[in-house]
Each structure stands twice: as C-alpha cells, then as structure tokens.
Structure 1
Amino acid sequence: MEIAAQEGLLGPLLLARSAIDRSAVLRGDAEWLERAWADAATRVVVVDDGQALIRRNGEDAELVLLSTADAPEGERYLLGLDAEGIAYFAVAASPATRPGSFNRIVSPLDPSEPGEGQTVTAGLRQVGSLLGDLDAGLLVYAVALEAWHSTHEYCPRCGSRTEVRAGGHVRVCPKDDSQHFPRVDPAVIMLIHDDDDRCLLARGPQWPEGRLSVLAGFVEPGESLEQAVAREVSEEVGVRVADARYMGSQPWPFPRSLMLGFFARATSTEFVLDSEEIAEAHWFSRAELLAAMESGEVRLPSEVSIARRLIETWYGAPLTGDW
C-alpha cells in the first residue's frame, strides 16, 4: 500500500487517500461517458449499501474491479481517471446480480476462512486500513455517492422523482428543472488537552464499556469551525476550551460527513456531562492511558478513524496491539 502521513498528524488518515483525477469536466459530456463505458479497459466498483467486493491478499486487501461487460445494471457514477487514463465508475447494485463469476462470497473478514484470494463483501470500517491508495479513494467516493443518491431520489421542492445527470454528481427534477447536488455535512472532531498535557476521552451511551474516543459534533448553520469546537465540548462535557488548532480532515461517508480534526486547550477541567450524549469522560496522562489500554480497561477507535490519529499524535507514538 502507498500510505503517506498527513502533515501535522502522526500517521496517515486512511480514508483521505486517493490516486485518481475526479475529472469533473467530463461529467457533463454524455458522448464521452458512453465511450468510456464501452471501453474494455474501464473498471467498475459495485457498491451496495456501503459494501463492495473485496479480495483478500494476506494481510492486505484489494477491490474487485469489474469490466463494464461484467457489471450489473444500476445507477452509474463516474469516479474519474487514473494516471494511465483508465476510467473508473461505480454502479449501485447488489453484487449478487453480477453476470460474472467469482469466488464464493462469505461474511466480511471471517477469521475461520482462509485469507489468501478470498472474496468477501465488506465496508470501509472493515477494510479501509487494508486497501491501497487507489482502492481506498475509489471505495470512499463510491460509498459516499451511493449513500446520497439512495436518500435523494425525489425533488424536495415538488416531490417528483429526480433523474441522475453529470455522471452521478447531480440529480435534476424533470418537473421544475431544479438541480440537487451531493451533500457533505461538516463535523468537528477534537482532541482536548489540559495544561498538565492530559487528554480528554469519553464514551457515548450507545458504545460498549471501555470504548473511549475524542469528542465530535456537527457544525451548525452560521457557525465557524472554531466556534463549533468550543460549543460541542461545552455542551457535551461542560469544559471550556481555547486555541483550537486545525490538524487535518477525512471523509467519513456514514452517510455523508467530513470530519475536521482539531487540537484544543482546555481552560477548565471539571466535567458536567450531557447524559444523552456522554456516558463517561476521563482525563488521561500518557502513562495512564497506556496502562488502561494494556489492562483492557480502555479500547481506542479503529485505525481507520481520524480519532485514532488525533490520539496517537497527542501520545507521540503509534498505539498498536490488540486493545
């Protein structure tokens, strides 16, 4: 895999990688789109409810990319061109409808199954850290477009069924000609540290015991990112913060978020928890966090998340191992 670290962060943001040109200028060229689809070199990602076909290669994985002749029927979305000029599309359809033949599909990353050459259906949470740059970028893009299209079939103004245009990047209402574009919801995610250089980790009520992470929340209308950081921390745990510092961003298409990572300094440390959002919150020194992880008391977010990168950047080293 070709993975580079994000500037300012310790380690890569695994869902912020790509190796394609999105080729926006080609989306409105209907003749080019048809020629590209007819090209035997063109490759297709089949995506169904955020899942795609994945082939295991030992500890890594790769997308199963189909030719257009083997792709199932479904909505098509242009993803772009690679450095060699090969076009990539996504098709929203169940892989079970594909005309081609593949290895038996099993449950995602079933540990009882042999890994080498195994074909599975899996999503970004399971395989995002195992894919190379090209495949990771293609799958994030395809999943995000499929999720938006699945919930925007009808015009919000008149209720008419909309039509897919511009290679899957616009939906147009045939009745009032209004255009509707894929949504991205900005969300801030922040590691809060205090003057003793402890970090704040918390658990939502819906999470299992011991699973802790940094705080996060959606940006509200008319609000800056820095204001959102301060508001969310205050609302969720009652801590005041200052000096919000941007660290990096990562798409999180579950279904349409863009996670904007920050560090911020706490100017107060007493907790007042919003019980609907936060079940528990704790301050950790580096030694305390490592000891809690080694004992099994604390488990961190997955490697594919920006939350994990923020924690590791504060800690100063990768936090590896079966926590």
Structure 2
Amino acid sequence: MRAAVSSGAGGPEVLSVGEIDDPRPGAGEVLLDVAATAVNRADTLQRMGHYPPPPGASEVLGLECSGRIAEVGEGVEGWKVGDEVCALLAGGGYAERVAVPVGQVMPVPPGVSLVEAACLPEVAATVWSNVFMTAHLARGERFLVHGGGGGIGTMAIQLAAARGAEVYTTAGSPETLELCRSLGATRAISYRDEDFVEVLAEAGGADVILDNMGAKYLGRNVSALATGGRLVIIGMQGGSKGELDINALLRKRASVTATSLRARPLVEKAKICCEVVENVWPLVAAGRVRPIVETTLPLDDVARAHQLMDDGGRAGKIVLTV
C-alpha cells in the first residue's frame, strides 16, 4: 500500500510517499480503507524524532483517520465490511490502510463527511478525556483553553460552551480571535497584547485550564486558577521543565495533572471513545459542535502539510485525503 515514509528525523522535507506492506487485522481489530487523516502536533514531534510510537504501534505517522471497514478480525462484533467510520489511532493514519483495535472505532457522526470526520477522533478524545473525565468541568464553571484557534482549541471551546461553561481562550491574530468568539468563547484574549492572568483574575479565576504550553505557562496558569481550580497539561510546546509554586497550589486547594492519550492501555482508550460517541457525537449531529477544517491536501503533499503545521498561525485542522 501507499503510505507516508520518512528518510530520517528532521524537517518536513524528510517525508514522502512510498510503498510499504499492507497491515493485517489481528483478533479484536478491524482493517480500514483510509479516506482521510489529519495532521496533529504529535506527528511533527514524531517526525523530528522526539515522540516515538508506543511498542507495537505502526511507525507510520497519523493518530486519527476516517474510512470504510475493509475486513473484520476474529472476535469483532457490531461492525461489518463497508461501514463508514472514524478511528483513534496510536499510529498508521497516513496510509491507504490501517488496522485498528475495535474499541477505538467510532461511527461517523450524522451529517459529517468522511473528510471532516478524519479530524474529529483525536481532538474529541483529547478534550473529552481531559476536560470532562479528568478535570470534571461543570456547567457554569469558568474554563480557559490556550491556543483557541488550533484543533484542540476549537474543539474545546465548542464543547465547553455547549456543556454550559463560561469559556475563555488565548489566540494571536484578530481573525483567530474572532473565530474563537464565533465558536462560543465568552472572552478571546490576545496573547500578544493582553495578560490572560489579569483577565482571569478580574473574572474570578479559572476553574479548569487546558494547557498545551507546559513549562512556559506553568506559573502563570497556577496564578490564573480559581480556588479549587484544576490545571490539565497536555503538551510541552513551551518546554518541559518549570518551577511549580506548591504554596500557591495549597492556598488555592488547586491541582495540576499532566496526561497523554497515545500510550494509554486499549481499555482506557476504548472507554474514552465510548464516552465521545455518547456525549460528543450528539452535539456534532445537532450542529452545536463542528469540525474546523482549515486546509485539505492529498497525501502526496504530506511534506507541505507538515510545513504548514510548523509555520503555525493555522486556524483549525489540516487534513490529508488518501
């Protein structure tokens, strides 16, 4: 089959499309004919040699995809050949076919195209598992997500607003700030011109913060928390080592949690996917939450797609059609 291959760790130029062996579905897996996949920040880290796949996962990039079931493995029930689905992957999405544990296969939400569905699994699973399963964001609470224009940010804004939270977000350009407001952000904060700590302090502090910056924002995030606030860190774009003021946490009775999704046990990922289908897909079907596709490119343009991601300033997801 055709798949994205790498000549080694490095910039986007190391990526091209070549021929590799077709995967085979094992027990409890389904084989998908991939229609589309999406580019995630984790893919660029893996390309640079900083984020290897977990043991047993495909070396091919790609943490989510959409497509049609081509074959079902032993013991799989509830799915048949030809079903249109999307899937959360540990790897392998940048290819014509991928084998997926059945617990990570989800139906395409009603009214969503296969191209749009390709950019839903990773962001929906990340936001739902961290903001709601881990931080337990409740109706009426104040929520802050950094990078509101990205894939995670656009999903987090919409989902938190749809669930009745008061949503704050940070972003850069005026266009991205306006997009964030259109998606349901009560307050879109320009990180170029404003201090999110001051904005949140005036509002009473954030009950939940979803952060992809890591060390760079650690101290400021703690300062922005309300009493009983929960900070969930899911990325290290701003570095991996920072200083944590334990006294500030104690005074606020606050908590800091760091999580990742890719290497979780299959049973945990299956539970997350089940909750996404139950809680997120109805909001997508109702039009209250929608996939934000910024750019669509063919798989052959994988290097260009990664260059666009590296350049930054994108609003929404970059999708590769297969």
TM range (shorter): under 0.3
More helix by share: 2
Per the normalisation by structure 1, the TM-score is: 0.26
Larger radius of gyration: 1
